[in-house]
Amino acid sequence: MGKITGAHTSCSYCHNSLFVPKGGFLFSQAKQKSKKWKLQPLTGKSQMINASTYSSRISTDIPLYEIPGASFDRYLENKARVFKAIFPDKRRSQQLNEEEWRIHMLPIEFLFITVWPVIDMRLRCKSKGVEYPPGIPHDVSKVLELDIIRWELQGLDDALKPSQFSLDVKGSLYPDRNGPRSRLRGQLQMSISFVLPPMLALVPEDVRRDVAETVLRGLLQNMKNKVNGSLLSDYGEFKREKQKELV
């Protein structure tokens, strides 16, 4: 795979970033026939001229049922297990180190354009209020923080490449025990900023924005469904495993 740049810098020679998944949101078995481009770092997002920026945010808040000896805090400490619960297809993911995984996502379409994203995701556990993301109370016992730290977008020819691109994805997940019953809370935010290639600049801004924001919401909703479904299901299995150990 070509060079992957940092997620908080803009990139040249990268590919369209308004994402509509082709056949789903995660993990494609489709073969890539389009040319693959290496991303190169440019200036920061704040220095982009005439850049288009789109963002979306989603949150989750559902009941959390814990048992002695199998707290959700303890479950979150096994980051590899948490990742596998959300992204179960081993063929499309690769663990890079203790905190980072590479994910080959489904091909994504925007109007007549298709791109194949590859992202590097980092999961970190934080506790005791140290370096918590904004908005999370410091009395929360443990937080799982998610970041997309590098990416590569493959599949476009020269005429369709935006000259600059910036991606920012941040998420968090944590147990909230302040109320009468425990809750699982989380939030995920995604924003993209880029300078349009001449061909896409002809598309009206309101059309681009509607499509981009709809797609971002879809991507975030997919992640939320994974947390509310697959992750909680695996946590249920984790609780059963711990109960058996006590027998």
Digit-coded pLDDT (tens) for 175-214: 999 988 999 999 999 888 877 777 777 888 888 888 888 8
Q: Where are the domains of the chain?
A: 5-246
Average pLDDT (129-147) is: 94
> Quick one: what percent of the chain has pLDDT higher than 90?
43
Domain made up of 5-246: CATH architecture:
2-Layer Sandwich (3.30)
3-state SS track over the chain: CCCCEECCCCEECCCCCCCCECCCCCCCCCCCCCCCCCCEECCCHHHCCCCEEEEEEEEEEEECCCECCECHHHHHCCHHHHHHHHCCCHHHEEECCCCEEEEECCCEEECCEEEEEEEEEEEEEEECCCCCCCCCCCCCCEEEEEEEEEEEEECCCHHHCCCEEEEEEEEEEEEECCCCCCEEEEEEEEEEEEECCHHHHCCCHHHHHHHHHHHHHHHHHHHHHHHHHHHHHHHHHHHHHHHHHHC
Minimum mean pLDDT range among 18-22, 187-191, 233-237: 18-22
* pTM of the model as a whole: 0.75
